[in-house]
Structure 1
Amino acid sequence: MAENPNAENPYLPSAAPFHNEGKTVAAWVAMIGVTLGAIIAAVGFLSPTLWIIVAGAVVVVASLIAGAVLRGMGLGQPGAAVGERRA
């Protein structure tokens, strides 16, 4: 069988990609905060109280910001560019 002249050449990456499946401090803080905020907001919806709903939304937003700050501090999964610089 003739080889395909348009086939891509296989290559190996310069380094193995960072692998932790998202199990980082930043991910856990964000996930737990969003879960707690959703529970608080759900309680607010069950007992129609606006301030509890708003408190749940504030907890969700604060936990997302905390996760982003922790990732910026190096406690999250690095991006592709960071992995390439380490190699």
Structure 2
Amino acid sequence: MADHSLAHRAQNPTRTESVHLPPSAAPTNHGRTLAAWTTTWVVVAGGLVAALAVVFAVVWLFWVGLGICLLGIVLGLVLRGAGHGQGGAKTLERQARTGGH
């Protein structure tokens, strides 16, 4: 009779698992790029404007705040396309100049 207890299965594994590692190391900047910071702060500013518009019941200012948020996203994409994002030429150049961070 086969032993199917938890202790037996823990001591006698019946299958092996393969490990899938990435082909290269991840970037070391942890997302601290010009594109990321610009996107974050412009969207935060737009959210603040929209929140204040809700508090003071100013409808047009709410839409301006949402427009600022959208502008921040577009600006981040443009900066990433210009090489200031994760893995971009400008970011890699700055990392080489400052020691990787």
TM-score grouping bracket, smaller chain normalisation = 0.7 to 0.9
Within a 5 Å distance, the mapping from 1:5-24 to structure 2 comes to 6-8=16-18, 14-24=23-33
- Cα offset, 1:16, TM superposition: 2.3
Within a 5 Å distance, the mapping from 1:71-82 to structure 2 comes to 71-78=80-87
Q: How many residues get paired? A: 78
- Cα offset, 1:15, TM superposition: 3.5
> Which residue number corresponds to residue 82 of structure 1?
none
Within a 5 Å distance, the mapping from 1:1-87 to structure 2 comes to 6-8=16-18, 14-78=23-87
Tell me which amino acid in the other structure corresponds to 2:39.
A
Structure of greater Rg: 2
Identity %: 31
Query: Tell me, which stretches of 5 or more residues in structure 2 are unaligned?
Result: 1-10, 89-101
Give 4+ residue runs of structure 1 displaced > 2 Å after superposition.
Answer: 1-8, 10-17
- Cα offset, 1:11, TM superposition: 7.4
- Give the distance between the partners of 1:77 and 1:65, measured in 2 at CA: 16
- Give the distance between the partners of 1:39 and 1:52, measured in 2 at CA: 11
TM score, norm. by length of structure 1: 0.74
TM score, norm. by length of structure 2: 0.64
Tell me which amino acid in the other structure corresponds to 2:48.
I
Tell me which amino acid in the other structure corresponds to 1:68.
L
Tell me which amino acid in the other structure corresponds to 1:30.
T
Query: Structure 1 residues 11, 61: closer, same or farther in 2, change over 3 A?
Result: closer
Query: Structure 1 residues 68, 4: closer, same or farther in 2, change over 3 A?
Result: same
Query: Tell me, which stretches of 5 or more residues in structure 1 are unaligned?
Result: 80-87
